[in-house]
Amino acid sequence: MSRDMMPHFELYQPDTLENAVDLARRIGKGAWLLAGGNDSLDWFKDRHKRPTAVIDMSGIASLKGIRETEEGLEIGALTTLAEVESSAIVREKYSLLSTAAGRVASPQIRNAGTLGGNLCQDTRCWYYRYGVSCYRAGGITCYADTPEGQNREHCLFGASRCVAVSPSDTATASVALDAKMVIHGPDGERIVPAEEFFIGPSKDITRMNVLKPGEVLTAVRYPKAWAGAKFYFEKVTDRNTWDFALVSVAAAMVLEGDVIRNIRLVCGAVECVPRRLKGSESVAMGRKKAEDVAIEAGKAASHGATPLQFNQYKVPLMENLVRRAIRDA
């Protein structure tokens, strides 16, 4: 398979959001939105995705930057992961997000990769990336969910024909921070909570979020309610230099003395969407931040898990990450 040449496509470089949305509407199905290109160019070079037109959004200034607002913090979707990681205001108020952004891939990828691209990236399932015709690619089988399938990285929850997981580290943190996604499309603006932005295969097996063709994620809003809370992010990988999560946890907690007054717990790489752990949250809510509560909440995290042939290890891993999140946040 040749990886040195990309198939031909038309390239558009609009300098306003309105032009980008208009182009996407007029081109229709064959249009591809390009941000930092880390994910997109791999798809094009492998020839598994062949858009007829690419809309490069890197020249749209209004989609970049980190702004404090009355409600909290707004980060433009084209802001790079490196900027999110190093921003003083993000570090001070939402260190969960800066830590998660800093754990994405390698410095080179974070310099070019954007927050929006990281949130909107497709799944990394080996089979799908290799270009096989599985369910997600429009075929009639799932290669990962077979007795011999390589499913060590795949899901514990939410399987529906596809058993792939969400790979995004900033997605896990954004759901924990109760972020709001700002979307622009041909019908104007709509705001969607991060928790509802990501969708699993039972809703639509061909995409991983609610964006309809022609819609652009323009910004992500992080609410004041969670600014300066206690945070914990941990990501377990095969290699610590750069790698996708085998399991990750993002926790945001408000304490009154040593009592947990509010908490949001989310695990990454266990479902096709960042998995909010409402059962663990209700175990911990209103109780002292102590080891026995952490253990109980950890056990609750894996309730309902249905491991595949080679990913049973994710169950105790998930339980321990949640335990550590509550104990060490």
Ligand X SMILES: Cc1cc2nc3c(=O)[nH]c(=O)nc-3n(C[C@H](O)[C@H](O)[C@H](O)COP(=O)(O)OP(=O)(O)OC[C@H]3O[C@@H](n4cnc5c(N)ncnc54)[C@H](O)[C@@H]3O)c2cc1C
Q: Which positions lie near ligand X, rule CB under 6 A?
A: 32-40, 77, 81, 104-105, 109, 112-114, 116-118, 120-121, 167-169, 211, 216-217, 242-244
Angle at the Cα of 140 from the Cα atoms of 160 and 124, rounded to 5 degrees = 60
Contact between residue 144 and residue 164 where contact means Cβ atoms under 8 Å apart: yes
Q: Whole-angstrom Cα distance, residue 103 to residue 112? A: 15
Q: Does 94 bind ligand SF4 (CB under 6 A)?
A: no
Q: Closest residue to ligand SF4, Cβ-based?
A: 134
**Least distance (Å) between residue 149 CB and ligand SF4:** 8
Q: Whole-angstrom Cα distance, residue 63 to residue 71? A: 18
Measured from the CB atom, the residue of 47 and 327 that comes closer to ligand X is: 47
The strand pair at 230-236 and 247-256 is best described as: antiparallel
Measured from the CB atom, the residue of 94 and 323 that comes closer to ligand X is: 94
Write the single-letter amino acid at 277: L
- Binding site partner of 116, from ligand SF4, ligand X, none, Cβ cut-off 5-8 A by kind: ligand X
Q: Whole-angstrom Cα distance, residue 141 to residue 145? A: 9
Q: Whole-angstrom Cα distance, residue 33 to residue 16? A: 14
Q: Closest residue to ligand X, Cβ-based?
A: 117
Q: Whole-angstrom Cα distance, residue 268 to residue 235? A: 8
11 CB neighbour count, 10 Å cutoff:
10
Q: Does 127 bind ligand SF4 (CB under 6 A)?
A: yes
- Binding site partner of 134, from ligand X, ligand SF4, none, Cβ cut-off 5-8 A by kind: ligand SF4
Contacting range for ligand SF4; rule: CB under 6 A; set: 77-85, 129-137, 175-183, 301-309? 129-137
- Binding site partner of 143, from ligand X, ligand SF4, none, Cβ cut-off 5-8 A by kind: ligand SF4
Contacts with ligand SF4 by CB under 6 A lie at 123, 125, 127-128, 134-136, 142-145, 154, 162-164
